[in-house]
Amino acid sequence: MKLVFGDLQDMFQVMLILGMVTNTIAWPIDTFDVFDYGATGFGEVDDSQAFMMAWRDACNGDGSDEAGVIVPEVGTFLLNPIMFYGPCNPQIIHFIILGTIIAPSSPTSWDGLDSSKWIAFKDVIGLNVYGPGLINGNGMNWWDQSCQYHPDKVFNFLSCKEGTLSNLQIINSPQTHVLIIYSTGFNVDNLMIQSPQNTPNTDGIHIHSSHYVKITNSIIGTGDDCISIGDFTSNINIANIECGPGHGISIGSLGKDGEMVQVENIRVSDSSFTRTTNGARIKTWQVGRGNIRHVIFENLVFDNVENPIIIDQYYCDIRGTCKEEKTGVKISDVVYKNLYGTSSSNIAINLNCSRSVPCSGISMKT
């Protein structure tokens, strides 16, 4: 069955019908409502302080194994850059988003603030962030400016362990929508991530220096990679993703400044790509070193994709301007299994491997 969505709300309603999102919340024992800490929910007044105080009490609580912050359904909450620190006393801590959270819409509103991140969780163990709610990065006024001046990521998970992110709409980030970095055992499920097709560097989810990450059952359409896998990552499982528009699901780019690359045990399966620039992509810079190995792309469907299958070991800011190097990232043991569909270009499979450090162990199976 092919679903056609008129807008984000239509898409989310279908997710509800299909059971991808649940309105039944299993409340933790101790809950801390941001309204009780002075949040206005007007969408025009900064509610960051109320969120910080609710988090402080939930995180410091010692009366229960579980605690949670509640963002109520009735309300639109304006937040400036905010960091929620752990570790917390409860073994499991919930961050329950029922309403809408928005970022400041004007670039000048960020003057004097840390624009490297917007909503961030750091050093939290047993964190569960879920909805159904809406996170709006309000990136419209940023996209026509130089990317170096953008707020960097909407949702940041830094050094978190055994966490989850699920059942949310995340839209219109100035740049990357979700960053998972230095984290272990993190599961992402049932997200809808959207930004316009022509928006710069608006990756859906970026993973870096993280291990045992699972991303499933999500609809992602942005101006860049639906999911991108950065350096020092391993044991990543991506499944049941609807990708498009965007640049596909990418490993890389890696090794830009001659760094040592270490990426392994990556699996992308049971996913679809619709009118994307790329499908299953691996991209490295010639000056990089190290390895990408043990990668599986399986059960993927391509619909009018420009580069359905591509390995590019000559990735460059401006194609054709980077000179041949004697170094390179070794790409090995890559399996393509049961991939089918249509290409919008004449070259459906492009294995542009390095002469100096050639690919090895590349197999294609039906």
Q: How many residues does the chain have?
A: 366
Encode 259-271: b = buried (16+ Cβ within 10 Å), e = exposed: bebbbebbbbbeb
Encode 39-70: b = buried (16+ Cβ within 10 Å), e = exposed: bbbeeeebbeebbbbbbbebbebeebebbbbb
- Is there a contact between 328 and 283 (Cβ–Cβ < 8 Å)? no
- The CA distance from 155 to 191, in Å, is 12
Catalytic-residue membership of 247:
yes
- The CA distance from 23 to 167, in Å, is 10
| Alpha helices (H) along the chain | 8-17, 48-60
- The CA distance from 253 to 286, in Å, is 11
Residues 47, 52, 54, 59: what is their CA dihedral angle, to the nearest 10 degrees?
160
Quick one: which H or E segment has residue 362?
strand 360-365
Beta pairing partners, 237: 214, 267
- Cα 224 to its chain centre, rounded Å, is 11
Residue with tokens 């001046």: 149
- The CA distance from 239 to 317, in Å, is 30
Give the type of residue at 234. S
Nearest to 128 by CA among 162, 101, 86, 175: 162
- Is there a contact between 206 and 183 (Cβ–Cβ < 8 Å)? no
Quick one: which H or E segment has residue 264?
strand 260-274
- Is there a contact between 221 and 246 (Cβ–Cβ < 8 Å)? yes
Which one is catalytic: 94, 206, 247, 294? 247
Active site residues: 247
